[in-house]
């Protein structure tokens, strides 16, 4: 009697097959995680750039509108029409990661949002020349305090309506005389807050002047940049436009009879991650700006008096 033997049915995978399948799965998961990380980094970078661009656009367009409507008179009067300097020390930010440069502006302009935009209504008290100041400080713009817990780098715009600005229209020293109108208490309030995360605000004025050499006269254009550390950077601490001259600190006599052609406004915007690192890490300023910020510049043509 013959017996026939049949091989047993295989109801699973061998250990080798399982190991191969696991290795393939791990590789596929690794590739998936890698691609997801790249996508998330790209999304985060794009979001940061869009947000920074939006903040920069708001700041630059507002400053541009005011400068394009700037009011000044060059008829020999001694009155001051524009003051540009640097922000006094004290509100520049965390130790080691202070604001790199902060210009301060005070000038006259025909702002269309005077009287809260209610021109021609009962709220309009007359006049069309406002005074405005721009300041960049490290501050909690909601609580109006210097508390570091909620403070951010904030750009403020304080607009003074024509009825109040009238008293500043005929003064020889705009910064000193306006100290009761433009000061920390009045400038740095929630209603004057413009945009946040601005880490640098540099104002450069283009001045056209003539230089005489012998019998020839040459027209030149000088870039006057307001810099926090003027001595080291080759910039200036103050620029004053008066009705009979341009005054600079440090002095530059050849520009005294020049005229303003325009201005360039440069701002650096930190990302939210950059703000966190500025507050809580020892990251150097150079690394902070290089890895967590975006830079924007706009050229503005100002009226020629």
130-181 pLDDT tens trace: 999 999 999 887 776 666 677 889 999 999 999 999 999 999 999 999 999 9
Terminal alpha carbon distance of the chain: 124
Angle between helices 272-280 and 15-68 (to 10 degrees): 90
pLDDT tops 90 at residue 15: no
- Quick check: 285 and 100 in contact, CB under 8 A? yes
pTM over 0.85: no
Cα R_g (the chain), whole angstroms: 30
Closest CA to 114 of 66, 177, 73, 68: 66
The predicted pLDDT at position 136 comes to: 95
**Alpha-carbon 259 to chain mean position:** 26
193 confidence band (pLDDT: 50, 70, 90) = very high
The predicted pLDDT at position 91 comes to: 83
242-301 pLDDT tens trace: 999 999 999 999 999 999 999 999 999 988 888 888 877 677 888 888 888 899 999 999
pLDDT tops 60 at residue 8: no
222-247 pLDDT tens trace: 999 999 887 777 889 999 999 999 99
The predicted pLDDT at position 148 comes to: 65
Question: Taking all residues of the chain, what is their mean pLDDT, rounded to a whole number?
Answer: 87
Closest CA to 104 of 113, 114, 92, 116: 92
102-131 pLDDT tens trace: 999 999 999 999 999 888 898 889 899 999
**Alpha-carbon 119 to chain mean position:** 29
> Distance of CA 178 to CAs 105, 110, 129, 132, 211, Å?
12, 18, 15, 11, 34
> Distance of CA 60 to CAs 54, 73, 102, 110, 179, Å?
10, 25, 15, 17, 25
HEC per residue, the chain: CCCCCCCCCCCCCCHHHHHHHHHHHHHHHHHHHHHHHHHHHHHHHHHHHHHHHHHHHHHHHHHHHHHHCECCCCCCCCCEEEEEEECCCCCCCCCCCCCCEEEEEEEEECCCCHHHHCCCCCCCCCCCCEEEEEEEEEEECCCCECCCCCCEEEEEEEEECHHHHHHHCCCCCHHHHHHHCCCHHHHCCHHHEEEECEEEEEEEEEEEEEEEECCEEEEEEEEEEECCCHHHHCCECEEEEECCCEEEECCCHHHCCCEEEEEEEEEEEECHHHHHHHHHCCCCHHHHHHHHEEEEEEEEECCCC
The predicted pLDDT at position 239 comes to: 96
């Amino acid at each position: 009697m013959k017996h026939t033997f049949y091989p047993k049915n295989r109801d699973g995978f061998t250990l080798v097959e399982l190991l191969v399948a696991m290795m393939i799965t791990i590789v596929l998961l690794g590739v998936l995680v890698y691609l997801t990380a790249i996508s998330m980094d790209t999304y985060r970078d794009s979001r940061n750039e869009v947000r920074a661009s939006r903040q920069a656009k708001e700041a630059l367009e507002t400053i541009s509108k005011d400068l394009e409507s700037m009011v000044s008179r060059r008829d020999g009067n001694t009155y001051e029409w524009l003051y540009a300097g640097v922000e006094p020390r004290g509100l520049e930010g965390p130790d080691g990661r202070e604001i790199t440069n902060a210009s301060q502006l005070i000038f006259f302009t025909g702002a269309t949002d005077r009287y809260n935009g209610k021109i021609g209504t009962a709220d309009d008290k007359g006049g069309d020349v406002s005074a405005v100041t721009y300041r960049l400080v490290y501050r909690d713009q909601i609580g109006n305090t210097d508390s570091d817990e909620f403070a951010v780098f904030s750009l403020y715009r304080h607009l003074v309506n024509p009825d109040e600005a009238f008293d500043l229209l005929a003064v020889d020293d705009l910064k000193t005389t306006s100290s009761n109108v433009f000061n920390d208490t009045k400038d740095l309030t929630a209603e004057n807050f413009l945009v946040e995360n601005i880490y640098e605000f540099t104002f450069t004025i283009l001045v056209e002047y003539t230089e005489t050499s012998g019998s020839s006269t040459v027209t030149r254009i000088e870039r006057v940049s307001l810099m926090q550390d003027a001595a080291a950077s080759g910039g200036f601490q103050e620029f004053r436009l008066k009705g009979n001259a341009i005054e600079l600190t440090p002095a530059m006599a050849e520009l005294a009879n020049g005229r303003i052609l325009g201005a360039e406004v440069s701002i650096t915007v930190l990302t939210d991650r950059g703000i966190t690192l500025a507050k809580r890490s020892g990251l150097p300023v150079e690394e902070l700006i290089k890895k967590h910020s975006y830079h924007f510049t706009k050229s503005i043509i100002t009226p020629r008096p």
